[in-house]
Amino acid sequence: MRAVSYYVVVEKIKNKEPENKGFVIAEHQDKENKYLKGKVISKGELVEGIDENDIVWYSRHTGHGIEFNNNLYYVIKYGDIVIVE
């Protein structure tokens, strides 16, 4: 599997679920965290400044999931990445 153009394929990294006075808040209910973290699996030939295996932060409302070899990956646009660790 290889990304093309300005697309990036990431594997989502689960953040530690936040706690609120002893209650665990499920990921889908965490409205304060606007960004998700992922590991770059593949990048398109037009993507600059990001390499495979980099950790990136991207908008939670971007991209779409794709299953490949029984793993779930997300295809996002290069412009939706806000931070590279």
* 13: CATH: 2.30.33.40
Q: Is residue 60 part of a domain?
A: yes
pLDDT one-digit tens code per residue, 25-41: 555 555 567 899 999 99
pLDDT at 21: 59
Contact 43, 85 (CB under 8 A): no
pLDDT by residue for the chain (85 residues), tens digit each? Answer: 899 999 999 999 986 655 555 665 555 555 567 899 999 999 999 999 999 999 999 998 899 999 999 999 999 999 999 999 9
State both tokens at 29. 């209910």
Q: Is residue 36 part of a domain?
A: yes
Q: Is residue 2 part of a domain?
A: no
Q: Is residue 30 part of a domain?
A: yes
Say how many domains are in the chain: 1
Owning domain of residue 54: 7-84
Q: Is residue 11 part of a domain?
A: yes
pLDDT at 34: 85
pTM of the entire predicted model: 0.79
